[in-house]
Structure 1
Amino acid sequence: MSVHILALVGSLRSGSHNRQLAEAAVKHAPEGVEVTLYEGLADVPFYNEDIDTEEERPAAATRLREAAAQANAFLLVTPEYNGTIPAVLKNAIDWLSRPFGASALAGSPTAVIGTAYGQFGGLWAQDEARKSARIAGATIVEDAKLSIPGSVTRFAETHPADDAEAVAQLTVVLTALAAAVEAPAS
């Protein structure tokens, strides 16, 4: 069985180290695992139940939901903005949490990783992302965690895809996420 993981990155910046971490996940996905980096979170408007109807739903939100429906699992890659999750990632979780009872996140194995400049690598944001995704119905894979501190210096001249330690840690996360898909919790 091939496992398809959809990666959602909480930073819109093209040079983001978190985006680069997601690119490394795409490049170094283990055999039998395909990671797709979702493009287009910047186009998704803030969640508003008034526009979440067949007649009004924005095309960008529909595209996000369609991509999520094709995934077996989710990889949320988050920086830490002012000690918490970036709005763009929280917004994606909000859109994917609906429709209530039948969301794309419901029961889906989900891992949260990230890198940040601080000494804890964005742990606060990762904890908030796990909390939000869990409440939205995702199944958080607790042993699939990765927080890389000191991103500004560590990745100043090295892309995470070329950092052997980061790649090894990513492989552990992706393998655990794929295992959660193949052997769902009972």
Structure 2
Amino acid sequence: MDFIAAALATETVASSSSPVSAIAGSFGLNFKLFLAQLFNFGLLMLILWRLVYRPLVVFMQERSKRIAEGLDNAKRYDEKLKELETERQNVLARAEKEAQKILASADEETKRMNAEAKAEDDRAAAAVIARANREIEQAKLDMIGEVRRQAADLVVLAAEKVIHERLDEKADRQLIERALKEVRP
């Protein structure tokens, strides 16, 4: 039935006086209806523009802006991460150098302390050896003195037996002293 209504509308348009209306009518167009549809389409476009397209464009721009900011932040964080990694490597290198210095210093200190301890041990050993040598020398001198005294006593006893009958006490004493002087250096 719509087809019949369209055909009747075409005949009415064709019977109108304007040639544009006649051409439009031959294609099945109703000029008044076309204008109403054009107005409705424009109104719909305006409503869609205001209520859908502009908010959608604003939303998309904000989203694009957030994405761009996120990418910028990611780049900054990546650069910051690289800087921190470089700084970490520098700190580790400095710490390694410092540790090497500390180890070298400790090694030198150990060598110095060992040398000092060895020198102290050498001094102590030399002191012990010197004291032992002095004690040995003193013991040697004491023994030599004791041997001389005993030898002198033996000489005196032997001389006393031989000479006792011929000498008096004063001459005996002088003879003993002279013999002791000769025995002692």
> Which range, TM-score by smaller chain?
under 0.3
| Larger fraction in strand | 1
Which of structures 1 and 2 has the bigger CA Rg?
2
| Larger fraction in helix | 2
Greater RCO (Cα-Cα under 8 Å, separation 6 or more): 1
Q: TM-score, normalised by structure 1?
A: 0.16
